[in-house]
């Protein structure tokens, strides 16, 4: 009788164990590789979505409606953080507000305007009077920066400094100087079909120029005013 071929006893046991171990490691490697590929594809997909989203600039539709009497820049100004932190008291009686849609809602051209004043502190120490005049013409002719400057409460007789403040879509201009020996600062701008003009006057003579203090203040105001007019006043 010939000798039987194959493995027997301990050698057979070792062979089975090694084969099983190799098979198990192979299964673990396949599962691990599959999971890594799945996670990688999900991450890449989310990255593409994020990149695509960041490249899209949000847009708003045209503003077509504003309830009669619901908007007043003088009132909204007091709620703006940059102004709320400096103003002390309202000086006018609030009787200058006009919205022609209240009395004549069917008019083709609607005017919203007001003239108001406050007592404020510039630079945390200089007490000043400030007058705001604004006008929004809905459905009317385009307004110009020159028209806004005409609303200045205190005409500057001796100009000590002037320039532009960035961030006002329709243009802006400031003028710093003297009026009747008093220090004044005028800032005017145009957003859409709205013009506004701030007139500042120091309550006491200063030993040095505070032009920079006024500029810092109006630069803080500009983004909030622009956003309010752009969001509320009809196009």
Return the domain boundaries, the chain.
9-59, 73-232
Cα 205 versus chain centre, distance: 35
Tokens of 77: 């100004």
* pLDDT on residue 220: 95
pLDDT digits (tens, 9 = 90+) for 164-211: 999 999 999 999 999 988 899 999 999 999 999 999 998 876 667 889
Which of the pair, 160 or 205, is modelled with greater confidence?
Answer: 160
- Short-list 167, 170, 175, CA closest to 151: 175
* pLDDT on residue 9: 59
Tokens of 128: 């000043």
Which of the pair, 153 or 37, is modelled with greater confidence?
Answer: 153
Rounded to whole angstroms, how far apart are CA atoms 189 and 170?
A: 7
Rounded to whole angstroms, how far apart are CA atoms 126 and 212?
A: 12
* pLDDT on residue 35: 58
pLDDT digits (tens, 9 = 90+) for 73-119: 999 999 999 999 898 899 999 999 999 999 999 999 999 999 999 99
Portion of the chain with pLDDT greater than 70, in percent: 73
* pLDDT on residue 208: 72
Query: In the predicted model, is pLDDT for residue 131 greater than 50?
Result: yes
Cα 27 versus chain centre, distance: 56
* pLDDT on residue 87: 83
* pLDDT on residue 76: 96
Beta bridge partners of 158: 178
Alpha carbon distances (Å) from 111 to 100, 167, 176, 193, 227? 6, 24, 29, 10, 19
pTM for the whole structure: 0.73
- Short-list 118, 110, 127, CA closest to 94: 118
The arithmetic mean of pLDDT across residues 22-39, rounded, is 58
Number of helices (H), then strands (E), in the chain: 6, 8
- Angle, alpha carbons 98-95-148 (nearest 5°): 55
Give CATH for domain 73-232.
3.40.1000
Tokens of 12: 């057979």
* pLDDT on residue 90: 95
* pLDDT on residue 206: 67
Query: In the predicted model, is pLDDT for residue 4 greater than 50?
Result: no
């Amino acid at each position: 009788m010939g000798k039987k071929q194959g493995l027997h006893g301990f050698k057979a046991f070792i062979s089975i164990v090694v084969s099983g171990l190799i098979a198990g490691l192979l299964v673990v490697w396949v599962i691990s590789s599959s999971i890594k590929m799945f996670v990688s594809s999900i991450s890449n997909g989310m990255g593409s979505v994020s990149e695509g989203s960041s490249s899209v600039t949000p847009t708003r539709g045209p503003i077509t409606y504003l309830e009669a009497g619901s908007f007043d820049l003088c009132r909204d100004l007091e709620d703006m953080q940059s102004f709320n932190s400096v103003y002390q008291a309202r000086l006018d009686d609030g009787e200058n507000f006009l919205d022609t849609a209240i009395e004549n809602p069917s008019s083709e051209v609607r005017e919203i305007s007001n003239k108001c004043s406050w007592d404020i502190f510039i630079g945390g120490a200089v007490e000043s009077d400030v007058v705001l005049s604004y006008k929004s013409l809905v459905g009317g002719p385009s307004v110009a920066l020159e028209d806004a400057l005409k609303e200045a409460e205190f005409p500057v007789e001796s100009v000590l400094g002037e320039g532009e403040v960035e961030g006002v879509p329709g243009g802006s201009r400031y003028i710093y100087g003297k009026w009747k020996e008093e220090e004044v600062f005028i800032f005017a701008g145009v957003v859409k079909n709205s013009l506004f003009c701030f007139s500042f006057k120091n309550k006491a003579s200063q030993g040095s120029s505070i032009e920079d203090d006024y500029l810092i203040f109006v630069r803080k105001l500009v983004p909030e005013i622009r956003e309010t007019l752009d969001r509320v006043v009809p196009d």
